Amino acid sequence: MESPDAVVPTPDDRTIAMLAHVLQIFSGLWPPLIIYLVKRKSQFVAFHALQALLFQIVLLVGWTLAMGIFAAIFIFMMSQVGKSGESNGPPLALLICIPVIWGLLLSKWVLSVIVGIVYGIRASKGESAQYPIIGGWARRLAGYVMRSAPSPARPEG
């Protein structure tokens, strides 16, 4: 049974919500932010744009923390070079950190692609699909009332 406050998205709303998810793949947080600011009167679009925006903010914060840790390790390792009296080349920890950072960057991009495509398709179908954890935040911020799936017809009898 649908809530009386639930919003049925128009075809334009579904397309714009899909664009909020898909464009984050290529441009990060800017497209969802712009879409949210322009179309926030549509609860459906605001909900999907906020999800994509919050997802990109979480990725940005995570990436910033990872780069801060990498910078601290790099500075510490470089401060230790030459203190032992012999130079054997770059520290092993540095050679391990560089591939790890590249792996994190690649996994961030792959995650953005998968999430953008999957939730973009679901938004284009008019579904109120939520990202794990972030979807609840976006729903509360947008004031969005979720549409429930219609229940199957039961035979009378």
Q: pLDDT for 124-147, tens place per residue?
A: 999 999 999 898 889 888 888 776
Residue 155 maps to a domain: no
Please check the confidence at residue 18 and state whether its pLDDT lies above 60: yes
Please check the confidence at residue 6 and state whether its pLDDT lies above 90: no
Residue 46 maps to a domain: yes
The total number of structural domains in the chain stands at 1
pLDDT of residue 24: 95
pLDDT tens-digit profile of 61-114? Answer: 988 998 898 888 888 877 776 676 666 666 777 778 788 888 888 898 999 999
pLDDT of residue 85: 61
Residue 5 maps to a domain: no
Residue 115 maps to a domain: yes
pLDDT of residue 104: 84
pLDDT of residue 82: 67
Residue 30 maps to a domain: yes
Residue 1 maps to a domain: no
Residue 150 maps to a domain: no
Extract the tokens encoding 28: 């990060």
Residue 105 maps to a domain: yes
Residue 132 Cα distances to 43, 51, 94, 98, 121, angstroms? 19, 10, 34, 30, 17
pLDDT of residue 73: 81
Range of the domain at 134: 11-82+91-142
Q: Phi-psi region for residue 89, left (φ > 0), alpha (ψ -120 to 50) or beta? A: left
Mean pLDDT of 36-58: 94
pLDDT of residue 2: 47
